[in-house]
């Protein structure tokens, strides 16, 4: 039978989701757990596929993977999580058609970027984000992959403020390599006044204007969700979700403490007349 899982992970210590030799990856840990539990023999024979790759340091809440197994009763989150490190966990599963491919069958994906928004004009960012919606050639907003088309349809960009943080949700039919992080860079440039909307419109016309642009930091990016044309009947695992909350809480405590520690490591700023 073919089983699909929803996977979440904290990507800080992984070299992306896709398996690579000699470095820790999300798929590497997942393959190890599935083989140890004898749920699959190897990824190839199990026809293992995922809904998309994430880069080094990028996180996920709604990554979808699918594989064939002879023991679907074991292919459930609470069993699989027993063999996974604390930074990766499955939280829902579903029996899916034999031909289900999480990547090819997806109709849209949503990413969220979280950044400190204190130094940006949010109204400018919101206005600029409207220009990016729709179907465009995003050549200036990606890391080039030879032979891959660069026209994509951005269905929505939502910009929300939460305290001193800004959350930017981007949904598109598919994404190019580093596309979300470069979109965020462009919006930050407009929001800080370094660039204007006229420049952004030029960036959407790569045939007449080309400019290289850096990617926003990976640590702020989260792969949130994938949509499919036929709804998947996900069975959420309450126990796995409760354990995930405990895992994340431990990380929250650590990072909150570390934020205060870092502030204590900074020397006191002298009065301006002493500089």
Catalytically active residues are 55
Contact assessment for residue 168 and residue 216, using Cβ atoms and an 8 Å cutoff: no
Contact assessment for residue 91 and residue 9, using Cβ atoms and an 8 Å cutoff: no
Question: Which residues are within 8 A (CB) of 237 and not within 5 positions of it... i.e. 6 or more apart?
Answer: 76, 77, 78, 90, 91, 92, 93
**111 among annotated binding-site residues:** yes
Count CA atoms closer than 13 A to 193's CA, side-chain side.
3
Cα separation of 154 and 132, whole Å?
7
DSSP state of 12: G
Residue with tokens 């919006």: 187
Count CA atoms closer than 13 A to 51's CA, side-chain side.
27
Cα separation of 156 and 134, whole Å?
8
Report which of 172, 34, 149 is spatially closest to residue 90, judged by C-alpha positions. 34
The first and second tokens of residue 133, run together, are 């919606």
| CA dihedral sign, ordered 194, 180, 59, 166 | positive
Q: Which residues are annotated as a binding site for substrate?
A: 111
Q: Which residues are annotated as a binding site?
A: 111
């Amino acid at each position: 039978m073919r089983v699909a899982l929803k996977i979440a992970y904290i990507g800080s210590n992984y070299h992306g989701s896709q398996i690579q030799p000699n470095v820790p990856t999300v798929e590497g840990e997942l393959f190890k757990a599935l083989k140890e539990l004898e749920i699959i023999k190897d990824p190839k024979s199990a026809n293992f596929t995922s809904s998309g790759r994430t880069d080094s340091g990028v996180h996920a809440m709604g990554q979808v993977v699918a594989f064939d197994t002879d023991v679907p009763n074991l292919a459930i989150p609470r069993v699989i999580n027993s063999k996974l490190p604390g930074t990766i966990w499955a939280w829902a599963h579903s029996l899916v058609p034999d031909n289900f491919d999480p990547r090819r069958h997806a109709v849209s994906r949503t990413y969220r970027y979280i950044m400190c928004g204190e130094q940006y004009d949010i109204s400018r960012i919101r206005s600029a984000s409207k220009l990016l919606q729709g179907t465009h050639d995003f050549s200036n907003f990606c890391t080039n992959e030879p032979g891959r088309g660069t026209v994509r349809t951005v269905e929505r960009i939502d910009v929300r403020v939460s305290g001193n943080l800004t959350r930017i949700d981007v949904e598109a039919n598919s994404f190019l390599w580093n596309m979300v992080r470069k979109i965020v860079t462009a919006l930050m440039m407009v929001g800080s006044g370094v660039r204007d909307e006229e420049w952004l419109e030029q960036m959407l016309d790569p045939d007449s204007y080309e400019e290289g642009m850096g990617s926003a930091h990976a640590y702020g990016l989260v792969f949130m969700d994938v949509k499919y044309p036929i709804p998947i009947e996900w069975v959420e695992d309450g126990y796995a979700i409760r354990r995930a909350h405990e895992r994340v809480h431990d990380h929250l405590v650590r990072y909150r403490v570390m934020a205060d520690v870092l502030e204590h490591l900074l020397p006191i700023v002298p009065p301006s007349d002493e500089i």
